[in-house]
């Protein structure tokens, strides 16, 4: 099963300052799943090292700008992300680097201007925003640092892998009913009755798994 991951988390020193932020625990996931590393900013040919970019609120709108010359980069990065998603239609989950304007899930700061550290609030990075509505589970790496959360995340991935690899929904349900009951006794029963409705089953299963992932957040 394919899992996308912000490339800087697995041995690609692609941060704007080339800092190594890779995590051993995430690299180990590569033994059980096919990790697909991706960096929106390097794919948009911004290079390493590069000038940092940030969201800035101006004239009532929010813009993604290069700090050195205020060059707008949203469209360029968005194109790189869409090309990547088109070339990788089988991603089932994505692990994203927190706080990055390209990768953070609702954790990228919206600054008051290009050079001060004052900010208004936080917003979604380009990549997670474009992952919405594609049936891809998303999580930020910072919630997987605790051993308990990491274990739970791996269990969720195993359920997902079972779902996409098992030919029969009845067999899948029998294999994972204990986990499904743990996620929601009510929905486990409903799913048991719905193994002949694949689209309903998938929708509910992804809702349950995504709800469980959200609970990893403090």
x-or-dash pattern for ligand SF4, window 55-74, by CB under 6 A? --------------------
Near ligand SF4 by CB under 6 A: residue from 3, 6, 188, 201: 6
CB of 37 to ligand SF4, least distance (A): 8
CB of 64 to ligand SF4, least distance (A): 11
Near ligand SF4 by CB under 6 A: residue from 73, 103, 137, 144: 103
Near ligand SF4 by CB under 6 A: residue from 3, 10, 14, 136: 14
| Per rule CB under 6 A, count of chain residues that contact ligand SF4 | 13
Near ligand SF4 by CB under 6 A: residue from 92, 94, 102, 153: 102
Near ligand SF4 by CB under 6 A: residue from 54, 78, 97, 173: 97
> SS3 for the chain, per residue?
CEEEEEHHHCCCCCCCCCCCCCCHHHHHHHHCCEEEEECHHHHCCCCCCCCCEEEEEECCEEEEEECCCCCECHHHHHHHHHHHHHHCCCEEEEEECCCCCCCCCCCEEEECCCCCCCEEEEECCHHHHHHCCCCCEEEEHHHHCCHHHHHHHHHHHHHHHHHHHCCCHHHHHHHHHHHHHHHCHHHHHHHHCCCCCHHHHHHHHHHHHHHHHHCCCC
Name the site residues for ligand SF4 (rule: CB under 6 A).
6-8, 14-15, 39-42, 97, 100, 102-103
């Amino acid at each position: 099963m394919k899992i996308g991951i912000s490339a800087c988390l697995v041995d690609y020193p692609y941060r704007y300052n080339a800092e190594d932020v890779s995590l051993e625990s995430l690299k180990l996931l590569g033994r059980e799943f096919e990790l697909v590393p991706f960096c929106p900013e390097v794919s948009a040919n911004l290079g390493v090292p590069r000038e940092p970019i940030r969201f800035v609120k101006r004239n009532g709108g929010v813009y993604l700008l290069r700090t050195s010359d205020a060059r707008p980069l949203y469209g360029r990065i968005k194109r790189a992300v869409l090309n990547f998603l088109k070339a990788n239609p089988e991603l089932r989950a994505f692990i994203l680097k927190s706080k990055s304007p390209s990768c953070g899930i609702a954790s990228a700061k919206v600054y008051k201007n290009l050079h001060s550290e004052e900010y208004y609030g936080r917003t979604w990075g380009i990549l997670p925003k474009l992952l919405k509505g594609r049936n891809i589970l998303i999580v930020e790496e910072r919630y997987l640092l605790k051993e308990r959360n990491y274990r739970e995340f791996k269990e969720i991935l195993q359920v997902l892998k079972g779902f996409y690899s098992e030919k029969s929904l009845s067999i899948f349900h029998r294999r994972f009913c204990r986990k499904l009951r743990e996620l929601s006794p009510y929905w486990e029963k409903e799913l048991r009755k719905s193994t002949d409705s694949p689209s309903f089953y998938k929708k509910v299963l992804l809702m349950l798994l995504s709800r469980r992932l959200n609970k990893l957040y403090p």
